[in-house]
């Protein structure tokens, strides 16, 4: 069975919510919609305090090439535009809307009928994705339309649909493939048309045999799409690792997947693309997994963007007593949040409640030179060396050791027998080296 060659770890899977059917969460009384949900420039609000908005109405406009439109997830009145803590850990400008009813824009097709006929041409697809504010839902929230703009002279051989979901605990992509497989495959077909390619590969780890089976059955109807089971290994869901696993091609250092003729999109994104193009529905809701070892009802919810995390936890039968950390995302790459009032954004794939005994970090010891971090690094770096150099502020060494290639998967920190926070120091080095490179390029 296919997988990537270099490194990788096998954290306990803990897919507790794998069997939970996606439930639609009740609309909250108030939503907080941050304008900086996507990678790149924050959007500029186009509504004012007191304005009436409908579901799907544009409330913030993309400000720049790498940015995305933001649409109202609810109908109601704009309460205020203020700085609010979001998952980033900082107070960021957000549009706060008081919910009144659930009135959708007339242009959105709300029926459940599956529409497989693609009427738009390539250019229209790109414009549609831009207009509908579609971003990558795997977590990085990169604006999707930018991925479809292929520079002259480059050709896309494969569209790769990422259904790997290698993060432990998370099951939102798994459930989406099970329940919205058909729509997801149509979305993939739309993306294929947008990229002008006739081959698409869906990579799924074989810990989801039901999803593989289901999609294999459906994929016979769609030309050019093939389903590939992959051996379970973290971080297979990383763009570069997935390309390596499926095509055997290696993305050169510092280059985009396009360099090797591939474009990777998440299954969630493919579904959002389907909804945007066929149903004219902007991206304002997504599937979020709410899970944790002590949570009573691990669930998958279809959630409107801007819903406070506490509503999700409440719907999963409340916050367990022993909660030590609330993490937005998975346990490997997710980030602990400051409080339960932060809103769900386009990039929130899961909410993980960690029990107190697991949430605390172990006391770090000295490096015993076992080399485990080197052997698990999926990018072939030397984490011990980079982190030590970053700690000693030797950023020239950090740069020479290719820190910018680090995908921050955390395999090194996970595997370190001395509990050294390797990734923290690497990230510190990456930040500093990034600044140094930017300053150098400016000169």
Q: Which residues make up the interface to other proteins (CB under 8 A)?
A: 83, 85, 89-91, 335-336, 338-339, 360-361, 421, 424-425, 427-428, 431-432
Asked if 305 and 72 count as a contact pair (C-beta separation under 8 A), the reply is no
User: Residue 138 CB, nearest distance to other proteins (Å)?
Assistant: 21
Query: What are the backbone angles phi and psi of residue 374, rounded to the nearest 5°?
Result: -70, -40
What is the rounded (10 degree) CA torsion for 69, 74, 77, 81?
A: -40
Residue closer to other proteins, measured from CB, 19 or 358: 358
User: Residue 17 CB, nearest distance to other proteins (Å)?
Assistant: 26
Q: Report helix, strand or coil for 90.
A: coil
Residue closer to other proteins, measured from CB, 216 or 427: 427
What is the Cα–Cα distance from 402 to 241, expressed in whole angstroms?
17
Q: Which of 442, 443, 375, 437 is closest to 412 using CA atoms? A: 375
User: Residue 328 CB, nearest distance to other proteins (Å)?
Assistant: 12
User: Residue 339 CB, nearest distance to other proteins (Å)?
Assistant: 8
What is the Cα–Cα distance from 243 to 297, expressed in whole angstroms?
35
Instruction: Report residue 175 as tokens.
Output: 């459930």
Residue closer to other proteins, measured from CB, 120 or 359: 359
Please report, in angstroms and rounded to a whole number, the separation of the first and last CA atoms in the chain.
49
What is the Cα–Cα distance from 30 to 378, expressed in whole angstroms?
42
What is the Cα–Cα distance from 331 to 329, expressed in whole angstroms?
7
Instruction: Report residue 39 as tokens.
Output: 């990678």
Residue closer to other proteins, measured from CB, 89 or 252: 89
User: Residue 83 CB, nearest distance to other proteins (Å)?
Assistant: 7
Asked if 118 and 190 count as a contact pair (C-beta separation under 8 A), the reply is yes
User: Residue 266 CB, nearest distance to other proteins (Å)?
Assistant: 25
Helices 172-179 and 209-219 cross at an angle (nearest 10°) of 40
Residue closer to other proteins, measured from CB, 253 or 431: 431
Task: State the DSSP code for 344.
Answer: P
Residue closer to other proteins, measured from CB, 261 or 341: 341
Residue closer to other proteins, measured from CB, 110 or 361: 361
User: Residue 159 CB, nearest distance to other proteins (Å)?
Assistant: 33
Asked if 167 and 234 count as a contact pair (C-beta separation under 8 A), the reply is yes
Residue closer to other proteins, measured from CB, 353 or 428: 428
User: Residue 45 CB, nearest distance to other proteins (Å)?
Assistant: 17
User: Residue 361 CB, nearest distance to other proteins (Å)?
Assistant: 5
What is the Cα–Cα distance from 333 to 169, expressed in whole angstroms?
12
Q: Which of 34, 7, 268 is closest to 137 using CA atoms? A: 268
Residue closer to other proteins, measured from CB, 83 or 196: 83
């Amino acid at each position: 069975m296919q997988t990537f060659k270099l490194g990788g770890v096998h954290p306990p899977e803990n897919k507790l919510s794998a069997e939970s059917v996606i439930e639609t969460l009740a609309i909250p009384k108030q939503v907080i919609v941050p304008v900086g949900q996507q990678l790149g420039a924050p959007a500029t609000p186009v509504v004012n305090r007191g304005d009436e908005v409908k579901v799907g109405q544009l409330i913030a406009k993309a400000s720049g090439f790498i940015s995305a439109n933001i649409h109202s997830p609810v109908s109601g009145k704009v309460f205020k535009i203020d700085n609010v803590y979001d998952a980033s850990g900082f107070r960021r400008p957000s549009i706060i809307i008081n919910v009144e009813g659930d009135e959708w824009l007339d242009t959105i097709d709300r029926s459940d009928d599956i529409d497989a006929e693609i009427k738009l041409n390539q250019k229209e697809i790109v414009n549609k994705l831009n207009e509908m504010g579609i971003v990558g839902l795997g977590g990085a929230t990169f604006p999707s339309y930018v991925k479809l703009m292929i520079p002259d002279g480059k050709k896309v051989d494969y569209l790769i649909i990422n259904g790997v979901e290698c993060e432990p605990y998370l099951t939102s992509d798994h459930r989406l493939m099970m329940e919205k497989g058909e729509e997801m495959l149509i979305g993939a077909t739309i993306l294929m048309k947008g990229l002008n390619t006739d081959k698409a590969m869906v990579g799924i780890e074989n810990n989801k045999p039901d999803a593989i089976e289901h999609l294999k059955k459906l994929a016979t109807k769609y030309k050019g799409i093939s389903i590939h089971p992959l051996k379970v290994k973290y971080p297979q869901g990383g763009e570069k690792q997935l390309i390596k696993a499926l095509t055997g091609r290696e993305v050169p250092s510092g280059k985009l997947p396009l360099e090797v003729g591939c474009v990777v999109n998440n299954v969630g994104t493919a579904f959002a693309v389907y909804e945007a193009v066929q149903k004219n529905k902007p991206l304002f809701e997504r599937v979020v997994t709410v899970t944790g070892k002590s949570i009573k009802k691990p669930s998958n919810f279809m959630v409107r963007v801007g819903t406070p995390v506490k509503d999700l936890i409440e719907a999963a039968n409340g916050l367990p007593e022993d909660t030590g950390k609330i993490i937005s995302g998975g346990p490997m790459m997710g980030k602990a949040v400051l409080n339960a009032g932060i809103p769900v954004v386009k990039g929130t794939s899961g909410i993980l409640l960690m029990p107190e005994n697991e949430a605390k970090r172990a006391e770090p010891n000295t490096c015993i030179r076992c080399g485990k971090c080197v052997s698990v690094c999926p990018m072939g770096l030397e984490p011990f060396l980079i982190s030590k150099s970053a700690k000693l502020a030797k950023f020239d060494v950090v740069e020479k050791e290719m820190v910018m290639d680090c995908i921050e998967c955390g395999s090194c920190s996970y595997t370190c027998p001395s509990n050294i926070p390797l990734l923290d120091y690497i990230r510190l080095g990456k930040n500093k080296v990034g600044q140094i490179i930017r300053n150098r390029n400016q000169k």
